Amino acid sequence: MAQTRQPQTIEYPGLEGEMKDDPRDEMRAYQGRGLLEGQVALVTGGDSGIGRAVSVAFAKEGADVAVAYLSEHPDAERTRACIEAEGRRCLLLAGDLADPEHCEAVVQRTVEQLGTIDVVVNNVAYQQPVQDLADLSNDQWRRTFAVNIDSYFYVTRAALDHISGGGCVINTASVNGLRGNKALIDYSATKGAVLGLTYSLAQALLDRGIRVNAVAPGPVWTPLIPATFGEDHVARFGASTPYGRPAEPDEIAPSYVFFASPLLSSYYSGEVLAPVGGETMPG
């Protein structure tokens, strides 16, 4: 039975406190087992949604977490509270990751404040649907690429000298990078690029002992959805999946724990986990 959401729109980039249907992204039922004890993770787009769930899961596994985000300060403070409730340190890093200099700065500040970086999660994303290719402006095209793929490159490159052997990079792709989306042309193109970057970096960083993998979720209920789609789309978001609903961020975060933990994924690099709600795709 398909589940529907309350129709609404909120102002971009979106705050959870403005959502009528709250996402589950605080990993309240999750119990860690020390898989990341003593490690430091940098999570971009970590203020809410998937990024928050991943950050809290990492904290529950014993990691300190630096959270890079745009300007959603109330959401970021909530993420910090969840991390610190687990007895771990949290560093909040506000700013626009479309700026290469800011990408380098968040890495440097993480190392200065938390000592090192063991895990990089490139998760920040921008999307804005259009109904016709002719409506896709040059500025939007460049903005989407600057946030969704350029920042992944800049953050990863800046972190290379700090990630020791056994560390890892985890990139957030999307089902739209696997199959495309006619209303999210630029977004889908960047998510396909994320997959190509993941495969290439997995090969390029093998000698450094750095694993590089990706998670490509299907529809996930986060503030980005009502912040970028119309009310009708929001109301039926995720209903077309075999599960009949979008994922909650808490359901996606364990994929990142798997890739972050050397105990669980020491032989995995260049792999993609695709939690897409029961959908099967060729390839």
Catalytic residue numbers read 187
Task: Please report, for residues 57, 90, 158, 254, 272, the alpha-carbon distance to residue 115 in angstroms, rounded to integers and kept in the order given.
Answer: 20, 12, 15, 25, 29
Q: How many CB atoms lie within 10 A of CB 211?
A: 27
Phi, psi of 43 (to 5 degrees): -120, 115
In this structure, the chain runs to a length of 283
198, 265 Cβ separation under 8 angstroms = no
**Alpha-carbon span 164 to 117, nearest angstrom:** 8
Annotate 232-258 with b (16+ C-beta within 10 A) or e (fewer). ebbeebbbebebebbbbbbbbbbbbbb
Annotate 56-67 with b (16+ C-beta within 10 A) or e (fewer). bbbbbbbbbbbb
| Backbone dihedral region for residue 34 (phi beyond 0: left; psi -120 to 50: alpha; all else: beta) | left
Neighbouring-strand partners of residue 220: 247
